[in-house]
Structure 1
Amino acid sequence: MRTTLVPLISLFISCFILLLGNGLINVLIPVRMGLDGLNTNTIGMVLSLYFVGMLLGAIYSKNLIRRAAHIRVFAGCVALGAVSILVCSLYSDPVLWGGMRIVLGFCNACAYTAMESWLSDSSTKETRGKVLATYNAVVLSGLFFGQFFMNMASPEGTVLFVFSGILLCAAVIPMVLSRNSGPLISEVSSMSLLALYKISPLGVVSCLASGVIYSAIFNLLPVFAKDYGIVTFQLSLYMGTAILGAFLLQFPVGYLSDRFDRRTVLFVLLFISAVADFAVPVLASQGIFTGVFVGTAITTGIIACTYPLSISEAFDKLRQNQMVAAMGSMILAFSIGGILGPYTASIAMDYYGNAALFYFVALIQLLLGGFVMYRMAVREALPVEEQEHFVMQGASIMASIDLDPRTEYVAHQHALSSEAETAATIAETDPAAAVKMARAIAMANPVLGVEVAAAVATVPGINVLRLYEVMKEAVPDQILGVTRAVVTVRPELAYELISKLAEWYPEQVVSVAAEIGHALPELRIEMARVAVESAPESATEVAEYYAHVLAEERDAMRPADRAEDTGDEAAASIASELWNVAPEQAMNVAVAMVDAMPESAVLIAEEYLASNIGATDEEVLAATESEILVSAERTEEHKEWNQEWSQEWNQTHDQEWTPDYHNTVELVSKLAEAAPEQALDMAVAVVEAVPGSAVEVATELAHSLFDKMSDDTHDAEKQSDEDQETKPQEYEDAVALVQRLSDASPEHAMNVAVAVVEAIPESASEVVDSISKGTESSEGEWINSVDHKPAD
């Protein structure tokens, strides 16, 4: 943790100083306008314009950063923000101040974007959650302490305006002295507000409402406080208490949100906050200021939690790859609410007095609570264990999209070094010279040489394999890093590059191929193949590795992503690739895959049958009776082929030929043991592919079922007689086995039933009743089949 945060100290210092200035400005502006005699309606309008600037900044900040880079955008926008507050000290005009509020909102949004993308670039997938928590703590600390600068001088003068400008300018210094140049800004696809509403109506409405109540309460609280004599240092304490409540309540709210239905938690919190809203004006009129402070801290804390709860609610319904795009729409909804909040609240305060601020907030919360109840009635809640985790999000700043640990992590791309850019430029006109340059740089600076080699490899016309060989000769100890870098930029050459690596360092290939396949899912099949080709004995090991990778990805998959899960298909494809390269390990590969990915049992069995069961014409003629492994394929042509060679065998050997389904039964047995819940579905798939194996498969599963029932009976010996009378229900699995295998292979239905009844004699009545539906049971066809079964 320390190694993650120490390099970011200069950025956190800049952030803290910037928020100190904003904390002072947030109180200074409404107090000064009140002292100037402006009506509440005008004050609300001016304060609302800040969120217009924030919205514009959220839209255009990335374009500015892309043009001018992080440090220049941060420095320029913060300096412009300082100019705007200094201009406000010159003239007390609501129109001018409204314009300056738009400028300040725009500048802050750009500064926040620059800081957050910088923080995101400096964090990894594992540390970005901690970085976000630290960032939010710094922001709230700056806002909290900034309130107390109000006591330095009278708000009627210019001193506090000038001091605010000084703080904003001072915030630039640590940032510009940093040696980090910042990441490149990537394009992010957007999602319309309407599209997001269709996916998560409550998430959108809650974001909008949280923007209304957050902007109203935190902007107009000084106006309310003035009516009850809460001024000077007491005002700083009051505002500080409100911000402290916004910080502290996120911890218990997050705990409750992750352990109970989130919508229920939100409804209860809104009700509690509404009660506190009604209580605060009453307590203030009675002069009970301790109660006013506590009630305000409770309601501001819940209001601050409404925004991150809204994001979590929306994320519960979104796929992983939709989150970042949807966050833009949630920011839009919150900003629209922020624009509406102060102005609409000020209208209520103008008509009904300043106490109406809390009544206005309570009304919005109760309306939102009603919508929460409506959504709970029309849509079932996700299981608590499948809900997204609550993540603290400061509503006072734009949402930290890239830092949110719930969103899909995408490593930021840094600008190429000057050496890499030069080598890439040379490669466009003289590829040979660029390769020589990469070699020379690598010998002088191996780490830089890896970057240069990757940059050169991206240029069309470069012989990447030749470049790879040159780098191996120049820096053999860096060849693994070169391999990863080049494969990342030229994934279509992955197989050729890893094959080369196998010639040089065969002992390294399996681990490198596994690592690349893990990082680049689209290359897993190729990496699995090349690993086993270089080390055939590692097929089972490779299968186990990728099976566990797929299983971990499935376990981490969000509910909304499961509809597009292709893990079973990926498991079957990788297994097929491995046993094609190492057929002698086919069964072990299949079992390893199914053991980690039980849901893939059916697909694995189908792929295995298609690849490994069956024999060619010559093999049938040359085989002895005990070595024949023939299975009928799904197509009619293969069925005819099987019958034809059966007849030829009979004529040649003057005896009846019966195919041996030992491999098929072994497959069913082992996969059923690895994935018992999938056993019946997998057996049906096998019998559909190899109808002749129906009886053997039924026998195998029936014996397994009988063993399980015997164990269950042993455990249930202490059951009452009444419980024992219900025992025929235990044979439902046997009936299902007969029915489904009979449907898969109708011509073997009678023999399947006989095999199951022979293995589980107690199930005879249920099996006969089930299999004989629609026939005349008096004929006794099934009973006779069982009674007259030839002895072995």
Structure 2
Amino acid sequence: MHTIRPLIPLLLTAGILIGGNGLQGTFISLRGIEEGFSTSVIGLVGTGYFIGFVIGCVYVTKIMRAIGHIRTFSALAAIASAASIMMVLLIDPLSWFLMRLVQGICFAGLFAVVESWLNARVTNATRARTLSVYRFVDLGSVTAAQYMIPLFGVSGFDLFAIIAMALSLSLVPISFADKTSPEPPKEVKFDIRVLWSVSPLATVGCIVIGLSNSSFRSLGPIYSDGIGMSVTSIATFMSIGIFAGIVLQYPLGHYSDKLDRRFVMLFATLGATVAAGFLAFFAGDSQLANFIGIFLFGAFALPLYSLCSAHANDHAAPGQHALVSAGTLFFWSVGAVIGPLIASFLMDAFGPHALFSYVVVVFVFFAAYTIARIFLRDAVPAESRRMRFRSLLRTSTFFSKLATPPSEKDGG
């Protein structure tokens, strides 16, 4: 435990940020319904966040190099907190879109600061333990945060204030971190041609995951509200889907390290397709059936990002792994910008179940493309792979570095 103790302030800060971000995503959708926004408008607001996230990923390293970790974090936390308050002061779609865009920029930067700081402080001896704690913090904070919604309700000022308070309080633990701020990180380059040249399948996969999984995160609350769930049940529905994502992460990762990784990706894609089809066409308004369906969907769909990243790294040349990490996050973000918007228009036109009908179509396309790539390109032998499977968060490019042991890094 003494080896983790110096990292506790950073992990506490990460927990507050991840929980606040997870709460905000669900809450904004439900509050939009209460304010009378259409599903397509709520989808557009969600798109604003992901546009901001792309911008933040591209520019945050420049800011960190210019003013350092703690000042970058302080500035972004203050701006994100102000944006949360502004959303309750100006309740209209354009203001919400702009504020969510600002928050997307800020959260991309905040996660980058925390994870690059962790990466600078972690040692090879503490890396696995730190990652385990970090994933527990991620899972626990997002799950617990969902239940703030039924506790305080979606009306009024309360949850906006709680989100703003969380962002402000995230400054406290990081202020007690090691007094020596780490060296500014090397600038993360975004060359979108690199990932495509390394692995077209991983590129398409990251876009597909953004199109589908971000639609669930943004519009899942609207789907569950549309089929008549209570606020508590909505929080449970979202929590189950998120929690399920860790259930098959390591079994799928284990077999992907031993087999042709594309077959495991295809298996996960088909599993997610069947689960989405069950939700779209068979679950109806049954709460139990929807809970079972979303558990299966999360279990198969959420590990796909990590599998795509591992597949891309199988084909990456020495020196390309940092660019691959940046590329997978960038293309996921591109899909996440478009996905909620398309799904929301379909839900407006055809009802809540159109969300998972849309996801079925997206995953069927990806399954077909995966099969085509299996025939077009030989597999990388397991013994020739430079990196093993890693369970990744889509928070910043620095998480990929944190998850990579030195022996597997470029040149290792």
TM-score where L is the length of structure 1: 0.50
Letter in 2 for 1:321: G
Contact 2:39 2:345 in 1 (8 A): yes
> What SS does the corresponding residue of 1:54 show, helix, strand or coil?
helix
Contact 1:324 1:407 in 2 (8 A): no
Contact 2:57 2:396 in 1 (8 A): no
Letter in 2 for 1:298: L
Q: What is the CA distance between 1:100 and its match in structure 2?
A: 0.4
Letter in 2 for 1:332: F
2:18 aligns with: 19
Q: What is the CA distance between 1:255 and its match in structure 2?
A: 2.1
2:208 aligns with: 209
> What SS does the corresponding residue of 1:16 show, helix, strand or coil?
helix
- 1:350 paired residue among 339, 348, 351: 348
Q: Work out the CA distance in 1 between the residues paired with 2:395 and 2:294.
A: 17
Q: Work out the CA distance in 2 between the residues paired with 1:252 and 1:7.
A: 31
Deviates more, 1:101-110 or 1:255-264: 255-264
2:243 aligns with: 244
1:366 aligns with 2:356: no
Letter in 2 for 1:80: I
> What SS does the corresponding residue of 1:321 show, helix, strand or coil?
coil
Q: Work out the CA distance in 1 between the residues paired with 2:153 and 2:286.
A: 26
Provide, for residues 429-458 of structure 1, a one-character-per-residue CA deviation record: whole Å limited to 9, x for no partner: xxxxxxxxxxxxxxxxxxxxxxxxxxxxxx
Q: Work out the CA distance in 1 between the residues paired with 2:395 and 2:91.
A: 26
1:338 aligns with: 336
Q: What is the CA distance between 1:406 and its match in structure 2?
A: 5.6
Contact 2:280 2:355 in 1 (8 A): no
Distance 1:186 1:72, change over 3 A: closer
Letter in 2 for 1:395: R
Letter in 1 for 2:350: Y
Q: What is the CA distance between 1:408 and its match in structure 2?
A: 6.9
1:166 aligns with: 165
2:298 aligns with: 300
> What SS does the corresponding residue of 1:230 show, helix, strand or coil?
coil
Q: What is the CA distance between 1:126 and its match in structure 2?
A: 4.6
Matches within 5 A, 1:112-131: 112-131=111-130
Q: Work out the CA distance in 2 between the residues paired with 1:279 and 1:399.
A: 36
Q: Work out the CA distance in 2 between the residues paired with 1:233 and 1:180.
A: 42
- % same residue: 27
Contact 1:274 1:361 in 2 (8 A): yes
Q: Work out the CA distance in 2 between the residues paired with 1:51 and 1:183.
A: 28
1:390 aligns with: 389
Q: What is the CA distance between 1:94 and its match in structure 2?
A: 0.6
2:219 aligns with: 220
1:309 aligns with 2:284: no
Q: Work out the CA distance in 1 between the residues paired with 2:172 and 2:362.
A: 42
Contact 1:70 1:181 in 2 (8 A): no
User: Unpaired runs of 5+ in structure 2?
Assistant: none
Q: Work out the CA distance in 2 between the residues paired with 1:205 and 1:131.
A: 31
Q: Work out the CA distance in 2 between the residues paired with 1:139 and 1:158.
A: 26
> What SS does the corresponding residue of 1:180 show, helix, strand or coil?
coil
Q: Work out the CA distance in 1 between the residues paired with 2:139 and 2:310.
A: 21
2:82 aligns with: 83
1:379 aligns with 2:377: yes
Distance 1:270 1:44, change over 3 A: same
2:323 aligns with: 325
Distance 1:400 1:351, change over 3 A: same
CA RMSD after TM alignment: 2.0
Provide, for residues 214-270 of structure 1, a one-character-per-residue CA deviation record: whole Å limited to 9, x for no partner: 211111000000111112111111111111111222122222222222100111111
Q: What is the CA distance between 1:284 and its match in structure 2?
A: 3.5
Distance 1:407 1:99, change over 3 A: farther
Letter in 2 for 1:67: A
> What SS does the corresponding residue of 2:402 show, helix, strand or coil?
coil
Matches within 5 A, 1:493-532: none
Matches within 5 A, 1:675-686: none
Q: What is the CA distance between 1:378 and its match in structure 2?
A: 0.8
Q: What is the CA distance between 1:399 and its match in structure 2?
A: 5.6
Distance 1:14 1:191, change over 3 A: closer
Contact 2:266 2:371 in 1 (8 A): yes
Q: What is the CA distance between 1:191 and its match in structure 2?
A: 5.8
Contact 1:121 1:182 in 2 (8 A): no
Q: Work out the CA distance in 1 between the residues paired with 2:395 and 2:64.
A: 21
2:49 aligns with: 50
Deviates more, 1:328-337 or 1:386-395: 386-395
2:5 aligns with: 6
TM-score where L is the length of structure 2: 0.94
2:287 aligns with: 289
2:106 aligns with: 107
Matches within 5 A, 1:357-756: 357-387=355-385, 388-395=387-394, 400-405=399-404
Matches within 5 A, 1:131-210: 131-188=130-187, 190=189, 192-210=191-209
Q: What is the CA distance between 1:282 and its match in structure 2?
A: 3.6
Q: Work out the CA distance in 2 between the residues paired with 1:71 and 1:137.
A: 24
Q: Work out the CA distance in 2 between the residues paired with 1:191 and 1:30.
A: 31
Q: Work out the CA distance in 2 between the residues paired with 1:299 and 1:10.
A: 34
Letter in 2 for 1:342: P
Q: Work out the CA distance in 1 between the residues paired with 2:190 and 2:171.
A: 34
Letter in 2 for 1:62: T
Contact 2:329 2:394 in 1 (8 A): no
Letter in 2 for 1:88: M
Distance 1:78 1:61, change over 3 A: same
Figure out how many residues of one structure are paired with residues of the other and give that number: 411
Contact 1:131 1:403 in 2 (8 A): no
Provide, for residues 62-109 of structure 1, a one-character-per-residue CA deviation record: whole Å limited to 9, x for no partner: 111112211121122112111111111112101000000011111111
> What SS does the corresponding residue of 1:402 show, helix, strand or coil?
helix
Q: Work out the CA distance in 2 between the residues paired with 1:406 and 1:203.
A: 22
Contact 1:213 1:364 in 2 (8 A): yes
Distance 1:190 1:407, change over 3 A: farther
Q: Work out the CA distance in 1 between the residues paired with 2:406 and 2:221.
A: 37
Contact 1:23 1:147 in 2 (8 A): yes
Contact 1:249 1:302 in 2 (8 A): yes
1:490 aligns with: none
Letter in 1 for 2:116: S
2:94 aligns with: 95
